[in-house]
């Protein structure tokens, strides 16, 4: 750790504390998640190993980059890219007016492309939320992060472990049924709802009430349609109760409302970093 200077604590991950550090050699800011390996169970150690494995598999401009990891003084340090704009969730909660349609589609297409890379590696994120999507300093580019509970699907079989942030959990996760990457599509629908309304799709005072709402698909209808109706149609498809009816990332990519902003994103990606 002599190569890094600690600046401040910025959060807590699944099993560790997350700090902002400065790399002394080049002055670059990095995020380091530190986990005391003596204080976690064997199962948690496996989860930590999985996180490092997942991070090392993902190399994409729209995903938080993994740099390295090492153990020193019984502490595992995972060194990752720092996104200076904070989380998408904080950005949305800090607004008092709706996003422009162009901005909604631009951010959504970025999340979509990042998620496509995740799914191409047979990885289910399992905790895609606006608080796990980060922004660069100019708020124009997103970075998907926090892969602490992601799961690598070794086969085409579905996973069973119930994990994730409750408000974004799919109905099949709430019911303890097998799930696959269509659970990430549900979460993506929740993220889109939040970008359209500045509110979460599913909220309740207690966890049982929240689970009931999710299992019924009872999100608050959007009364004032200020965006193209096709955006709402796409959101409703992603929030279909039955996972087999939710579109895959590849299907979403060719949705009419996505084609033009996706093309613009490919053209301008190098200019928004």
Q: What are phi and psi of 161, to 5 degrees?
A: -65, 135
97: annotated binding-site residue? no
Choosing from 127, 131, 146, 184, the catalytic residue is 127
Q: What is the C-alpha R_g of the chain? A: 19
- For tokens 């589609």, the residue is 105
Residue 242: both structure tokens together: 């039955």
**Residues 145, 54: Cα–Cα separation, whole Å:** 11
Q: Catalytic: 73?
A: no
DSSP secondary structure code for residue 263 in this structure: H
Beta strand residue intervals within the chain, DSSP E: 4-12, 17-23, 29-36, 66-72, 75-81, 123-124, 133-135, 142-144, 151-152
**Residues 228, 230: Cα–Cα separation, whole Å:** 5
Annotated binding site for ATP: 33
Annotated binding site: 33
Instruction: Show which residues are catalytic.
Output: 127
């Amino acid at each position: 750790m002599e190569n890094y200077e600690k600046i401040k604590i910025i959060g807590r991950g699944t099993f560790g504390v997350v700090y902002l550090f400065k790399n002394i050699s080049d002055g670059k800011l990095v995020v380091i998640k530190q986990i005391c390996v003596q204080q976690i169970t064997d199962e948690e150690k496996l989860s930590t190993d999985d996180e490092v494995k997942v991070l090392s598999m993902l190399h994409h401009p729209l995903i938080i980059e993994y740099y390295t990891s090492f153990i020193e003084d019984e502490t595992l340090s995972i060194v990752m890219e720092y996104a200076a704009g904070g989380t998408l969730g904080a950005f949305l909660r800090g607004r008092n007016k709706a996003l422009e349609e162009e901005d909604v589609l631009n951010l959504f297409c970025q999340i979509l492309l990042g998620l496509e890379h995740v799914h191409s590696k047979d990885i289910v994120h399992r905790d895609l939320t606006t608080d796990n999507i980060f922004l660069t300093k100019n708020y124009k580019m997103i970075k998907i992060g926090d892969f602490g509970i992601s799961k690598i699907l070794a086969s085409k079989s579905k996973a069973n472990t119930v994990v994730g942030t409750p408000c974004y959990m799919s109905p099949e996760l709430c019911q303890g049924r097998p799930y696959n990457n269509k659970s990430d599509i549900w979460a993506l629908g929740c993220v889109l709802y939040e970008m359209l309304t500045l509110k979460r799709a599913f909220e309740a005072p207690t966890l049982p009430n929240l689970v009931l709402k999710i299992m019924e698909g009872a999100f608050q209808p959007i009364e004032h349609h200020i965006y193209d109706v096709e955006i709402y149609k796409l959101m409703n498809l992603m929030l279909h109760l039955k996972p087999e009816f939710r579109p895959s990332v590849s299907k979403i990519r060719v949705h009419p409302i996505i084609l033009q902003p996706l093309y613009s994103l490919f053209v301008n990606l190098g200019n928004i970093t």
